[in-house]
Structure 1
Amino acid sequence: MKSVVPYRRYVALGDSFTEGIGDPHPGSPNGVCGWADRLAARLARADPEFRYANLAVRGRTMNDILTGQVQAAMLAEPDLVTIYAGMNDLMALRVDMDAMMARYADGLKSLQQTGATVLAFTAPDLGAKPMFRGLRGRAAIYNELLRRIADDLGVALIDFWRFDEFRDPRLWDHDRVHLSALGHEFMAERVFDCLPDADPLACPATSFLAAPSGSATVVGNVRWAVSFAAPWAIRRLRRITPGIGIEPKSTTLARVG
């Protein structure tokens, strides 16, 4: 008889998106929760034997994730892996997209060889974000290359680009780069919906109200530019990595909660 939730060993890989930046939680390692932690908590409700590790760290590039996280994930013998990689590379001044995606394909294939269900993410639509609007074409190319890789390998793909609800600014943190707490909650629900064979009746969703739509004001845009955009650009030009000295929230599979 098939289990209602066939996942017992979940490893999350990535950068700040998967670490959970934008979803503060004082009692959580690194002080943040995030969609992956929320997803793990939901899956754990259905199975006391469920274990979870989150190797994601803010600022990590594709190469960081492939060399520093994929191997560790494989050693954990997971049956579920989520991976979000490449966004920090897209924001770099230069990126060899074909070479990067070839390495990503190899990494995804290695994860698949563990027998785990592997879920990757497309980039979000950057067109609605003034500071990153010029990167929209680069993100679209990334997505098309990733869709081809996912088709070739049979990797499940979470198509963030097409999630229209994330056009709502209330699903984004004040920096407009990371998801807000509500955004992370929405994303956890979206990822759960993409899991093969997961039974929503066995893992009931957390109830929450949809965020009302809204638009940024001129004053809000100026405050954002001064408080975040300008300092962010300076750090990028100086090649200051936000994840220096930050460790993953959990490097070994453990009980949730």
Structure 2
Amino acid sequence: MADDSRIQKTDIIGSYAAIGDSFTEGVGDPGPDGSYVGWADRFAVLLADQLPAPDETAGADSVHGLFRYANLAVRGRLLDQIVEEQVPRAKELAPDLVSFCAGGNDIIRPGTDPDDLAERFERAVADLTNAVGTVMVTTGFDTRGVPVLRHMRGKIATYNVHLRAIADRYHCPVLDLWSLRSIQDRRAWDNDRLHLSPEGHTRVALRAAQVLSLETPADPDQPWPPQAQRNTFEMRRDNIQWAREYLVPWIGRRLRGESSGDEVAAKRPDLLPL
């Protein structure tokens, strides 16, 4: 079956703004300066690479200097917070492309209705498409291999169906993470099992470039290298360590009504050269 999430490459993209939560901020992909890199930063580099050089002697630095990128995403943000805080800023910046990923933190909360969530998401998409060049809609992951989120797979699938329908109505390209099989591998995920690893973020960036019909340096779905199978004792030990280090603190924050992004600001609030 053909992948209908891809669009034909038309206009050159000279500016890009990413909005969303921890996934788009880049949590799980630490950079050398202590901040996070993430798929959106990596995707921005691929977008910059597609710009024509200003002259024959200009190198990669000159090309990247023509491209501007903002990342407004903040970890822990719910859909309504993203719409309130980040969508207006994205409209102000009015870039050629906006990637919009939101709703994941809502979906994992008990009692969330994916139908209602999708209606609010659609209103934001309608608002954005009136102010920016193109809005790329991002679906949720297939969480069958994520222990703490496996039971929410049905809700995520329902939400994804809505997102695809919204994208169709507003002529938005779709970054379909559900169909990206390579991120089903454990190595695509950080130790907390909730965020992608650097390699996982890289594969998402490559898929995003494919969606816009850009040339990519590698296939995001290329097979992972073989690895030795772990025995039951090792898996049980890892699960206990993960629960102690990540699951219990995560549950504690939920019970206290706290967010990991309470004291965090957007890492790139302005459209700036890479």
TM-score by length of 2: 0.84
Which residue of the other structure, out of 255, 261, 268, is the alignment partner of 1:243?
Answer: 261
Counterpart residue number, 1:39: 43
* Separation of aligned partners in 2, 1:213 and 1:69: 41
Over the matched positions of the two proteins, sequence identity in percent amounts to 38
Counterpart residue number, 2:217: 205
Counterpart residue number, 1:59: 76
Asked if 2 retains the 8 angstrom alpha-carbon contact of 1:168 and 1:213, the reply is no
Which residue of the other structure, out of 218, 223, 236, is the alignment partner of 2:241?
Answer: 223
Q: Following superposition of structure 1 onto structure 2, how do residues 1-257 of structure 1 map, counting pairs within 5 Å?
A: 6-27=12-33, 31-47=35-51, 48=63, 49-196=66-213, 198=214, 200=215, 205=217, 211-212=224-225, 217-256=235-274
Moved over 4 A (4+): 206-210, 213-216
* Separation of aligned partners in 1, 2:207 and 2:237: 32
What does the per-residue CA deviation read over 1:186-215, in whole Å, with 9 as the maximum and x for residues that have no partner?
11101000015x3x1xxx527998533666
Q: Which amino acid aligns with 1:97?
A: P
Asked if 1 retains the 8 angstrom alpha-carbon contact of 2:182 and 2:223, the reply is no
Gaps of 5+ in 1: none
* Separation of aligned partners in 1, 2:70 and 2:218: 21
Asked if 1 retains the 8 angstrom alpha-carbon contact of 2:42 and 2:205, the reply is yes
Partner secondary structure for residue 18 of structure 2: strand
* Separation of aligned partners in 2, 1:103 and 1:117: 19
What does the per-residue CA deviation read over 1:32-54, in whole Å, with 9 as the maximum and x for residues that have no partner?
10111011122223433110000
Q: Which amino acid aligns with 2:263?
A: G
Gaps of 5+ in 2: 1-8, 52-62
CA 1:239 to 1:177, structure 2 compared with 1: closer, same or farther past 3 Å?
Answer: same
* Separation of aligned partners in 2, 1:189 and 1:161: 15
Asked if 2 retains the 8 angstrom alpha-carbon contact of 1:25 and 1:31, the reply is yes
Calculate the aligned-residue CA RMSD, in Å.
2.1
Q: CA deviation at 1:5?
A: 6.6
* Separation of aligned partners in 1, 2:132 and 2:262: 32
CA 1:167 to 1:213, structure 2 compared with 1: closer, same or farther past 3 Å?
Answer: farther
TM-score by length of 1: 0.89
Partner secondary structure for residue 120 of structure 1: strand
Partner secondary structure for residue 45 of structure 2: helix
* Separation of aligned partners in 2, 1:166 and 1:87: 17
